[in-house]
Every structure is written in structure tokens, then in C-alpha cells.
């Protein structure tokens, strides 16, 4: 299951991605927002990231205006590897090399087709492990060292 959340700047793209995921027969949970009123992206980023970190969703997708705020927020949650991507190569590498469990997109940066292409590339990619696992282990060690 994928959990997806956005702020007001990512609402339209989130709606399009939910339809895209459902057409692919992927179970998706909408974590909000569901209106165009201004909201605080950290609230939605935290919810999605905590849900993935707790194992209640396999993957997460976050969308705000640029994706930057959601990316910063999600990466504060231990166990989250959130990747802000803008092209298909980045989306593939996010999974293949970094095993990103949260994909972050910019709702004011990407059109619907491009966003669907990025999500598709990410979902169709597989973590390569090998030398990349050692690098992720170093990230986890940093996370543990600086977590309070």
C-alpha cells in the first residue's frame, strides 16, 4: 500500500496521482489535504513519513509546491529515505541506489504526465543492494548517532 499526502500546493497533482495509482491497481491511502485552503506541509509530511516508518504503508508519496519542504520534513523521521525527483533518471536512481521509501514531487514544478512518469519509474525500479547497502548503512548510523 502507498500513502500519499500533499499540502495545498500539491493538491491537484496528488489527485491525479491517486487516479494513476488506482488505474495500476495499486492500493492507495489519501492522507490529505483535501481542500485548497493554505495548510502547513510539515503536518502532512510527518503523517506520511511516520506511517511508512512504522510499516503501516510500504511506500509514501509527498507533494508540496516545490517538494523541498516535504523532502526536508520527511527526512527528519528515522527510517525514511525521501527523495525529491524531477526526472525519470532521478526517480529510478532513488530506488535503485538509495532505496527511497518516500518519493517527493513538486506540484508547481511538474505537470501530471511527468509526475505519473516519475512515479511509474520509481515503482518499477528495484533496489540494487550491493555497494549501495553499505552506503545506506552509513546513513542509518548517522541517523542513530544524531537521533534524540
Out of 8, 97, 116, 132, the active site residue is: 97
Give one word for 25, left, alpha or beta, with left for phi > 0 and alpha for psi -120 to 50. left
Nearest to 84 by CA among 111, 106, 55: 106
**Is 64 part of the annotated catalytic residue set?**
yes
Cell of 137: 548503512
Q: Which long-range contacts link 117-120 to residues 24+ away (Cβ below 8 Å)?
A: 117/88, 117/91, 118/85, 118/86, 118/87, 118/88, 118/90, 118/91, 119/17, 119/20, 119/21, 119/61, 119/91, 120/24
Catalytic residues: 64, 97
Amino acid at each position: 500500500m502507498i500513502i500519499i499526502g500533499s499540502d495545498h500546493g500539491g493538491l491537484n497533482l496528488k489527485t491525479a496521482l491517486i487516479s494513476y495509482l488506482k488505474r495500476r491497481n495499486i492500493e492507495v491511502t489519501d492522507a490529505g489535504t483535501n481542500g485548497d485552503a493554505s495548510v502547513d506541509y510539515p503536518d502532512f509530511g510527518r503523517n506520511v513519513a511516520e506511517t511508512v516508518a512504522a510499516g503501516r504503508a510500504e511506500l509514501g508519496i509527498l507533494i508540496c509546491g516545490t517538494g523541498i519542504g516535504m523532502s526536508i520534513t520527511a527526512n527528519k523521521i528515522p527510517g525514511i529515505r525521501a527523495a525529491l525527483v524531477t526526472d525519470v533518471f532521478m526517480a529510478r536512481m532513488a530506488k535503485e541506489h538509495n532505496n527511497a521509501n518516500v518519493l517527493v514531487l513538486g506540484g508547481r514544478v511538474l505537470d501530471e504526465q511527468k509526475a505519473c512518469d516519475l512515479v511509474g519509474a520509481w515503482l518499477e525500479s528495484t533496489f540494487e543492494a550491493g555497494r549501495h547497502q553499505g552506503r545506506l548503512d552509513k546513513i542509518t548510523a548517522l541517523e542513530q548517532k544524531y537521533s534524540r
